[in-house]
């Protein structure tokens, strides 16, 4: 029986080393995902800024067109007087231009809403990973020390039978969101 004790201690030391390596790998993965989310956020912010500039330029062109149309209308009335056919043709042109302007503006607004939705989603993912990272790096778990070897963060739970060193996923909004190894967000509605 006494000859088995060194083997048991060796197995415990090996387990502790493997758990420490697993925790370090998980921390590196969280760092990688956090950096990826920050890159996505910067890209979305640049897209939103570009879209706002484009919308401002378009609004300026639209105002210029409206002023030109109004000036043309006044000149036409002054020069041609009561020529109704010309006035009707101008009205048709204005209606077509207005319809086209409305369609373009609707497309711009739809794109802006999509970008804003993605921005809100990214902010939610960023807050989730910040909470996970703070819990992983700031929390300290109680655990036994064998032969002067301290247990790393999260090892007390693992020694008790947990299968993964990462904290459980937190529900966001109406569904559950997870992050794939490539950094893509996976939204799943919880089964009721």
Judge whether residue 153 has pLDDT over 50: no
Q: Which two tokens stand for residue 74?
A: 């006044």
Residue 58 lies in a domain: yes
Give which of 40, 53, 186, 35 is closest to 119, Cα–Cα: 40
Per-residue pLDDT for 58 more than 90?
no
Q: Is the overall model pTM greater than 0.75, yes or no?
A: no
Residue 74 lies in a domain: yes
Give the domain extent around 86: 45-122
Q: Reply yes or no on whether the pLDDT at 23 is more than 90.
A: yes
99 occurs within a structural domain: yes
60 inside domain: yes
pLDDT tens column, 166-182: 444 444 444 444 444 44
What is the number of structural domains in the chain?
A: 1
115 assigned to some structural domain: yes
165 pLDDT higher than 50 = no
Residue 94 lies in a domain: yes
- Asked if the structure places residue 145 within a domain, the reply is no
Residue 140 has pLDDT above 50, yes or no: no
pLDDT tens, 67-82?
A: 888 888 788 677 766 6
d(CA 192, CA 182): 29
Residue 65 belongs to a domain:
yes
């Amino acid at each position: 029986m006494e000859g088995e004790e060194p083997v048991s201690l060796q197995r415990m030391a090996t387990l502790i080393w493997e758990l420490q390596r697993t925790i370090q790998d998980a921390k590196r993965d969280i760092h990688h995902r956090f950096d990826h989310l920050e890159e996505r956020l910067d890209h979305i912010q640049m897209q939103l800024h570009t879209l706002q500039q484009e919308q401002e330029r378009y609004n300026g062109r639209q105002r210029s067109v409206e002023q030109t149309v109004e000036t043309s209308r006044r000149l036409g009335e002054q020069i041609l007087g009561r020529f109704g056919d010309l006035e009707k043709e101008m009205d048709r042109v204005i209606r077509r231009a207005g319809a086209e302007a409305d369609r373009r503006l609707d497309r711009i607004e739809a794109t802006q809403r999509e970008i804003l939705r993605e921005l809100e989603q990214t902010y939610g993912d960023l807050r989730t990973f910040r909470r996970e990272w703070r819990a992983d790096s700031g929390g300290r778990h109680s655990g036994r020390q064998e032969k002067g070897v301290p247990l790393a963060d999260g090892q007390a739970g693992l020694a008790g039978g947990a299968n993964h060193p990462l904290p459980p996923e937190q529900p966001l909004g109406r569904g559950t969101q997870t992050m794939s190894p490539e950094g893509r967000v996976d939204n799943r509605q919880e089964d009721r």
